[in-house]
Amino acid sequence: MLANELIGRFEQFAPLKLRWKNDPIGLQIGDPKQAVHKVLVTLDVRPEVVAEAVEIGADMIFAHHPVIFRPANNLDYSDPQKAMYAEIAAHHILVYAAHTNLDCAEGGMNDWLAAALGLQNVQGLVPGYREQAVKMTLTVPTAQVEAAQEYLTRSFGAKVNRYAVNSGEQFTVDILADRVSSAVAGINQFVDAGTWDYQVEPLLTGGHQYTMGRVGDLAQSMTARAFAEHCKQVFNVGGLRLVCQDPQQEIKRVAVLGGDGGKFYHAALAAGAQAYVTGDVYYHTGHDMLAAGLTVVDPGHHIESICKHQLTKLFKNWQAENGWTVEFVASQLNTDPFTFI
């Protein structure tokens, strides 16, 4: 299969529009029209991961963290990072990265972390991309009206608002703006072009809000110290940092945001969280969290490696649905740069 087929299916699940500003996601290296036979799924793209890809014969690397965060001003191979680019190119390996779009995707990174912690009644934490709703007014030949309505309801969850009885051919639906073009293409499959028409106008309400991070409740409350131990076990880390006024504080409501989420701790407080799980907490931010009375567990950025198993599982499900002839392999390497001693 071509890489484009996997990329296209993934971008339905985690569209590029969900990314945080200036995040360099998507195709990083290679030709999306390249045929792929084996995909290595990883958190990071490091020299040892590239060597792993070469060893197993992978022709595509699907990563969470982009391999190119900053543009290269030269290709001096004495720089290990740039030498790695050369190794990737020499072995014709395509590299694709899904970063903040995967963080914001529903059923993506932060839902995986919330599920690992055992959170219930999960909600979004930090507002991100908002998809606007529109009213779509369709004029369709009478014989196809019911089929068009059923298609829009089944395929897009569109709600039929009214049926114009004057002609029996016009009705309106609320639909997300980004799905209008797909809806039109779908209707054109069974209604001849030129025999139907539509108009679109924005709605002030409705739409869909995507979010970064999640907040929910533990099944049973536990002390801050016990919750920190729970995080160690869940994420299989040898150590973590705990910011806490009272280790015996009862924790029930928990916010989680994978990666470097310290700057979003106010959202955790606003959501009523007693504890916040995130990585890379800075020293002064830790002081501010402590003063605010928020318990914070920093198990490190590497807990996002949960994506290796979850993405591989997701890809294999799509493989079964679509009959793809490609192998998906989760990286076996630990790319955490920190060792607890």
Judgement on whether residues 242 and 284 belong to the same structural domain of the protein: yes
Q: How many domains does the chain have?
A: 3
What is residue 165's predicted lDDT score, i.e. its pLDDT? 47
Query: How long, in residues, is the chain?
Result: 341
Per-residue pLDDT band for 216 (boundaries 50, 70, 90) equals very high
20 in Cβ contact with 69 (< 8 Å):
no
126 in Cβ contact with 211 (< 8 Å):
yes
Judgement on whether residues 200 and 270 belong to the same structural domain of the protein: no
* 159 part of a folded domain: yes
Judgement on whether residues 113 and 221 belong to the same structural domain of the protein: yes
* 88 part of a folded domain: yes
Judgement on whether residues 123 and 259 belong to the same structural domain of the protein: yes
Judgement on whether residues 266 and 217 belong to the same structural domain of the protein: yes
Mean pLDDT value of segment 68-78: 91
- Whether the full predicted model's pTM is greater than 0.85, yes or no, is yes
Judgement on whether residues 219 and 118 belong to the same structural domain of the protein: yes
Packed helices 142-156 and 180-187: angle between N→C axes, nearest 10 degrees? 140
Judgement on whether residues 199 and 216 belong to the same structural domain of the protein: no
CATH number at residue 36: 3.40.1390.30
- State the residue range of the domain holding 79: 3-102+305-330
Q: List the structure tokens of 139.
A: 């004029």
Q: List the structure tokens of 71.
A: 């543009």
What is residue 168's predicted lDDT score, i.e. its pLDDT? 53
User: Count of alpha carbons within 13 Å of 223, Cβ hemisphere only?
Assistant: 7
What is residue 167's predicted lDDT score, i.e. its pLDDT? 53
In whole angstroms, give the CA distance from residue 217 to residue 237.
22
Per-residue pLDDT band for 169 (boundaries 50, 70, 90) equals confident
What is residue 193's predicted lDDT score, i.e. its pLDDT? 81
* 341 part of a folded domain: no
In whole angstroms, give the CA distance from residue 299 to residue 109.
16
In whole angstroms, give the CA distance from residue 161 to residue 137.
10
* 118 part of a folded domain: yes
Query: How far apart, in Å, are the Cα atoms of 82 and each of 42, 58, 89, 184?
Result: 19, 20, 11, 45
* 53 part of a folded domain: yes
What is residue 164's predicted lDDT score, i.e. its pLDDT? 54
| pLDDT tens per residue, range 276-313 | 999 999 999 999 999 999 999 999 999 999 999 999 99
Mean pLDDT value of segment 41-59: 98
60 in Cβ contact with 38 (< 8 Å):
yes
Judgement on whether residues 267 and 317 belong to the same structural domain of the protein: no
115 in Cβ contact with 194 (< 8 Å):
no
Per-residue pLDDT band for 157 (boundaries 50, 70, 90) equals confident
Judgement on whether residues 257 and 227 belong to the same structural domain of the protein: yes
Judgement on whether residues 289 and 316 belong to the same structural domain of the protein: no
Q: List the structure tokens of 291.
A: 């003063």
